[in-house]
Amino acid sequence: MDQNKTAADDSRIAIVGGGLAGSLLALALARRGHAVDVYEARPDPRTDTSAGGRSINLGLSKRGINALTEVGLIDEVMKLSVVMRGRVIHGPDGSTRFQPYGKNRGEVLHSIDRNELNRVLLERAEEHPKVKLHFRHKLVRIDKEQRELEFTVGNQTSDQTIKCQPAWVIGADGAFSNTRQQMQRGQRADYQQEYLEWGYKELTLEALPDGSSAIDLTALHVWPRAHCLFVSHPNRDGSHTLTLFLPFEGPDSFATTKTESDVKALFTKYFPDLLPMLPGLVEHWMKHPTGSLITTRTAPWSLDNWMVLVGDACHAVYPFYGQGMNSAFEDCVALLQALATHGEDRTAAFQAYEQTRRPHTDVLAELSKMNFVELRQKVQSPWFVARKKLDITLNRLFPKAWLPLYTMIAHTTMPYGYALQRSRRQESIIAFTATVALVGLCGAGFWFAKHH
């Protein structure tokens, strides 16, 4: 084995993973005077388009905006996004209904392509003189006693390895994090993962010949069906990235949708209004792989004063609340704040970061599961629509006292757990008020019947 060992360098921070959280943290730390090395297993996604990974679009909201503002990139990123004012619900009969995200124009989401955002973050990080990016560097081993990282370099069959001894390490390498596995090996650690029985496939709704959008470009589009779900994110060029969520097994599933006739039959049954707009449907279906969805929980998030995890490496969630990227970026902000608060005591900083974040990211995992049911089954319910309108009305009347749950999650930085607690208190108030009103009506009816 060709082994090249780097000299120990206790002045540089190593970030394992050059995705969204890793590249943002590299820039943020460099701006604070730290020297940073970013190690990414994939090729450089800016020059190798096959290295881009998932292309599923993202909904940038308040938490993510806050993090991007801290590193001075929000204006540049906003230019790459499309404003989504709310969601358009497409019924099985072809009817549509618009549901705003909030009470005003400020409460919107911003659709952005994951890979485009990653490229911007990598470019700005690399421009900083204190950041070095290392692509095709796959973490294979961590020697916790020697505080040493070992990477294979180049393609997957390469036998060249390098070792480095950074000052400390951040694991930002996703839901299947090698950093987490290596860090927790031999430790008393908890880890849970849960796969959704549904997978997803991405398709494209092309722009019209004149460059305009075939459907409203300023909204998230949802085709809710009890058996399946389609979600559409707009792109700047007038196209839409479509994501179909479908069971892996059973009738009308990925297992039964293999041929051209299978695909057309599925769309004719569930999405007849989409079929005429997707002339390349079968070609895209066959070309794009089927993805899996996973939720993970783990503890601890750190090792002494030397290693710490962020983003999906410590709390992957289903995408149905649109908070995966936003919560990962919020991790970065929380970690930086903990480091600033505790100074040289990184052990205390890492522990404080986990204590403030983990209870709330656990709540986010549950919220994401709940929103999957909401998107599939509830958004077409008249009761659900009326309840949403009531929330918005109360929010307009009492803007500080009454906040809808979605507003708290997407348009504030209130910790997720506190948002859920407040939402449940508000639900109790509505239930109590409704009960009192019902009792009052019954009493009035009884009095009227008795005296007439």
Angle at 9 between CA 6 and CA 14, to 5 degrees: 90
Interval 308-339: pLDDT, tens: 999 999 999 999 999 999 999 999 999 999 99
* pLDDT over 80 (residue 378): no
* pLDDT over 90 (residue 130): yes
Interval 60-70: pLDDT, tens: 999 999 999 99
Query: Which whole number is the average pLDDT over 17-32?
Result: 97
* pLDDT over 90 (residue 196): yes
Phi first, then psi: what are they for 80, rounded to 5°? -95, 0
Confidence of residue 247 (pLDDT cuts 50, 70, 90): very high
* pLDDT over 70 (residue 452): no
**32, 128 contact by CB (below 8 A):** no
Interval 68-88: pLDDT, tens: 999 999 999 999 999 999 999
Q: How far is CA 409 from CA 63, 330, 385, in A?
A: 9, 12, 19
Interval 429-442: pLDDT, tens: 877 675 666 566 66
Per-residue confidence (pLDDT) for residue 2, from 0 to 100 = 42
Per-residue confidence (pLDDT) for residue 450, from 0 to 100 = 61
Confidence of residue 222 (pLDDT cuts 50, 70, 90): very high
Q: Which pTM does this prediction carry? A: 0.89
Average the pLDDT over each of 25-29, 36-40, 106-110, 334-338 and give the range with the smallest value: 106-110
* pLDDT over 90 (residue 174): yes
Confidence of residue 10 (pLDDT cuts 50, 70, 90): low
Average model confidence (pLDDT) across the chain: 89
